[in-house]
Structure 1
């Protein structure tokens, strides 16, 4: 059980210095994860359970269940006093075809950084899923209520303890339909893109009960981190591979997706991070890869790996904080 502590000064005073001390002493990172309390763990699991319930009917783009899930996200952000991005939470876009047009809606919050207020880290997680198919609800607990709930928790943590860079919390719609929400954000925020330093994308971070590994993929990090910092990040990730329930592992297996006609061999474009990458923005993508419940009616709350999920949330958050501090160190001369 993680103990609730009133003050967690470690990450606020700089993870870079801590990591140097850790790497030389061999001490663990357990204390660092204490910012996430047992109450937070229960809250994030409740978010997953709610968003993947039958009430939202699989959250398909432009469906009533999708609209209701938008309301849930906005209500949750307001409850934690998370500022809206550009003074509004809902940012709509249109999917047009020969026969009809459908409206999608990204939900976006923004937390101002302490040092680089005009430089941004964009955290993404898509909240849409497949809806109801042949009278079976595809609830998408792992895909991607898991990532969506994690972003809601991170919003709460960062509101109380902001990073050095500003953080945009982007809950995308239409990811299951050609990454539409991420594409809409890039199109609508062209003036902002030069100031977006990094995208961290969470898509399926809970897996099934048999899932043992959290995987990650990154590209273009040398644009924002020095060679020494990249080496430190690699060491941190290697530590998590051996000393965390996530067994954090680089890369994804190249297999054809279960329950889908989509070939996920091109993991660089498998989710919203691919859109940011095409815009020249470095990314880190976290997910478990495909599993037996992927894109099926079996992807329900009671079938996710809750222990892996809670460990993944902590491991991802610690890497976020490290990269934020490391980018700040690189940017100091500017």
Structure 2
């Protein structure tokens, strides 16, 4: 089995890292089983690779909406499905973002946006590209976070944005930014999860961050950096800043431009700070071998825990900055 109780990293309070902010507790074994079940389901043949504007995509949407309803997670602006069009010279296709929102306890009208794209590549040469790492892993994590945050909301409201069309020029993220101009100034940060389970040999969870100085004081930025360094040296995922500058495997997309490699790039272009978590490319990327059997389960469960702790830290740290002296 997975030896779940051995996976997690607690903060070594005797270490040089210090914070007045209490970090979240580790995620339970029950939560781990739930998130793995979501990942397994979403990357099954049932969804035929979740290709943009396909029957498998619609089934994926149904799955997400059902899961959110089962958890009593409120829909964003009173609807879960937010449609958009991709129009070309010869045809028009409909994409659909699935969006929910959990009100914050203190700053209800300001938002942290969590993103994970649910679309993938569909089928090629009669083989299903199930996209377990890319990106059923991020989607399943967001479903778990939805449950955790419903029971213990953050200070800021959290928008859970499951984007469509990431594999087609980041269409879903672009549609969200275009449709939500009235709240863009209220979005404090985007945290994007795209490929956080890796392959069997994956050893590092990488991250990219930009413009966090708009949110956090220099002291808080230093604390966050120290926390991330702690996770690099004291966890099974070896949290590491930056991505390898290589062209992606199995795709004509040049992922060397990591600033625009996934949905966070759209938020960044709109002036919104972000942190992007992912493993980068690996041998199963954009292939029929990216399935549930080939992910690194121990790595994945540790990753979702450590990402969640950083989310809670950022939420608390941002609020510290608005509390009157």
Report the TM-score, using the length of structure 1 for normalisation.
Answer: 0.92
1:193 alignment counterpart: 184
CA contact (8 A) 1:240 1:247 kept: yes
**In 2, distance between residues paired with 1:318 and 1:92?**
32
**In 1, distance between residues paired with 2:266 and 2:95?**
17
1:225 alignment counterpart: 216
1:290 alignment counterpart: 281
Would you say how many aligned residue pairs link Structure 1 and Structure 2? Answer: 318
CA contact (8 A) 1:33 1:314 kept: no
CA contact (8 A) 1:258 1:295 kept: yes
Alpha-carbon shift at residue 2 of structure 1 (Å):
5.8
**In 1, distance between residues paired with 2:46 and 2:189?**
34
CA contact (8 A) 2:211 2:274 kept: yes
**In 1, distance between residues paired with 2:102 and 2:139?**
17
1:111 alignment counterpart: 102
2:45 alignment counterpart: 54
**2:63 aligns with one of 65, 72, 91:** 72
Alpha-carbon shift at residue 21 of structure 1 (Å):
5.4
1:9 alignment counterpart: none
CA contact (8 A) 2:17 2:223 kept: no
CA contact (8 A) 2:23 2:313 kept: no
**In 2, distance between residues paired with 1:67 and 1:137?**
16
2:228 alignment counterpart: 237
Closer, same or farther in 2 for the Cα pair 1:64/1:170, shift >3 Å? same
CA contact (8 A) 1:90 1:107 kept: yes
Matched, 1:170 2:161: yes
Alpha-carbon shift at residue 35 of structure 1 (Å):
4.3
Larger relative contact order (Cα-Cα within 8 Å, sequence gap ≥ 6): 2
Runs (4+) of structure 1 moved beyond 2 Å? 18-27, 31-35
Q: Any idea what the Cα deviations from partners look like across 1:67-114, whole Å, max 9, x if unmatched?
A: 000000000000111000001100000000111100000000000000
1:277 alignment counterpart: 268
1:12 alignment counterpart: none
More helix by share: 1
Alpha-carbon shift at residue 333 of structure 1 (Å):
3.5
**In 2, distance between residues paired with 1:23 and 1:209?**
31
1:44 alignment counterpart: 35
Alpha-carbon shift at residue 263 of structure 1 (Å):
1.1
**In 2, distance between residues paired with 1:76 and 1:59?**
17
**1:152 aligns with one of 143, 147, 164:** 143
Alpha-carbon shift at residue 34 of structure 1 (Å):
4.0
**1:83 aligns with one of 69, 74, 77:** 74
Alpha-carbon shift at residue 33 of structure 1 (Å):
6.0
Consecutive unaligned residues in structure 1, runs of 5 or more: 4-17
**In 2, distance between residues paired with 1:158 and 1:38?**
17
**In 2, distance between residues paired with 1:154 and 1:303?**
23
RMSD: 2.0
SS at match of 2:219: helix
